[in-house]
Amino acid sequence: MSPAIHNRAFAELGLDFVYLAFRVEEVKAAMEGMRALENFTGLSVTIPHKTAVIPHLDDIATVDATIGSVNTVVKTGGRVKGLGTDGPGARRALTECGVALEDRDILLLGSGGAARAIAFDLAFHARPSALTILGVIPDELDALERDLKQKTEVSVTSALVTDASLEQNVENAQVLIHATPVGMHPNTEESVVPDNLLRSDLAVMDIVYNPLETRLLKDAAKRGAKTISGLEMFVNQAVLQFEAWTGQEAPVEVMREVVLANLG
């Protein structure tokens, strides 16, 4: 979907840019080529190259070096910098929907790549009072908690997902971020969180955007909770890429329309 979003946004602002999709196996050569093609301004990095690209960058934001992956590369004055926009995109989606993060207890479900990016971004930039992470892969979950403790000052705890851990931690949280694939098409009736735990003073974000309204978000809305769909994170991570490449304010509404049209 990225070519559709960014090309439409370039056109909207009349910018002489084009976004193209390239299959890549040789990351080193691709990055050398990006340097050699002088007006090649930036790129997105997708799985499986988000970590492999790092040795080929001149600069990386501290938070992204800590996360160990980037999804965006921008070349400025011959220097190639990497950054991640998934975590900042999630945070921007929350704050633009009016969800306060500072001094709040945030519950993060999941410990994979997206959860890791969101956790570090929150730890670096959002000043939550506490961050709790529930996951199902013990090694990955432990590593995330350990890295957060070693490399940031956030107050973090983690536990395996159980009925008991969910009950206790949803109750304690003001913000719940679901960062696992559960509920994604075609398993649209699944949710990690029992609906009776949801309540009106909880803000619930789901990073799944297909469907736009997951079972979790439906359940949360029924209970009167504020809900933020994965669409908002997806649009905002693209907005941050666009702004890194062009130095211009992104046409957010147009970009959201493209995503909606492509999802529809």
Name the residues that contact a second copy, by CB under 8 A: 18, 20-40
Neighbouring CB atoms inside 10 A of 96's CB total: 14
Least distance between a second copy and beta carbon 116 (Å)? 27
The residue annotated as part of the active site, out of 28, 50, 75, 151, is 50
Q: Which residue matches tokens 């211009």?
A: 248
| Closer by beta carbon to a second copy, 4 or else 61 | 4
Do residues 132 and 165 lie in contact, with contact meaning Cβ atoms separated by under 8 Å? no
Q: In terms of Cα–Cα distance, which of 259, 255, 257 is closest to 209?
A: 259
50 is catalytic: yes
Select 39 or 150, whichever has its Cβ closest to a second copy. Answer: 39
Of 37, 79, 40, 42, residue with least CA distance to 58? 79
Q: Could you give the strand order of the β-sheet that contains 156-160, starting from the edge strand earlier in sequence?
A: 156-160, 130-135, 105-109, 175-178, 203-206, 226-228
Least gap, CB of 11 to a second copy (angstroms): 13
> Judged by CB, which is closer to a second copy: 53, or 117?
53
Q: Least distance (Å) from a second copy to the CB of residue 88? A: 27
Backbone angles phi, psi at 21, to 5 degrees: -100, 125
**Catalytic residue numbers?**
50
